[in-house]
Amino acid sequence: DAKTTQPPSMDCAEGRAANLPCNHSTISGNEYVYWYRQIHSQGPQYIIHGLKNNETNEMASLIITEDRKSSTLILPHATLRDTAVYYCIVRTGANNLFFGTGTRLTVIP
């Protein structure tokens, strides 16, 4: 699987949009981008995934650049409960998810 690069930490004011970037410059054409988050030491939680098109669900939006070398996860209205480590993962058909060190998002009141 292609490796990803994320900033180690970010802050976001409560109620504002949190935009978490991810670089995956070596991504292949058939590799999906997945986002998970881990709150404290709980089990990771799936958020969203995409291949080429932008995606939105009840939790977040995923914006993938046209060249697919980077993506951004958007939490539209961050709350204190969104404080977590966010992982960007690039995956082929295998089910092994390579979790890097992620971005620690702190939502500030």
Partner 1 sequence: EAQVTQNPRYLITVTGKKLTVTCSQNMNHEYMSWYRQDPGLGLRQIYYSMNVEVTDKGDVPEGYKVSRKEKRNFPLILESPSPNQTSLYFCASSTWVAGGEQYFGPGTRLTVT
Q: Which residues bind partner 1 (CB under 8 A)?
A: 32, 34, 41-46, 49, 87, 89, 91, 93-97, 99-102
**31 vs 82, beta carbon nearer partner 1:** 31
Output the smallest distance, CB 39 to partner 1, in A. Answer: 11
Q: Which residue has the tokens 């977590």?
A: 84
Output the smallest distance, CB 92 to partner 1, in A. Answer: 10
> What CA–CA distance (Å, rounded) separates 89 from 100?
8
Output the smallest distance, CB 41 to partner 1, in A. Answer: 6
**63 vs 97, beta carbon nearer partner 1:** 97
β-pairing, 70-75 vs 55-56, is: unpaired
**57 vs 77, beta carbon nearer partner 1:** 57
Output the smallest distance, CB 85 to partner 1, in A. Answer: 9
Q: Which residue has the tokens 């976001």?
A: 12
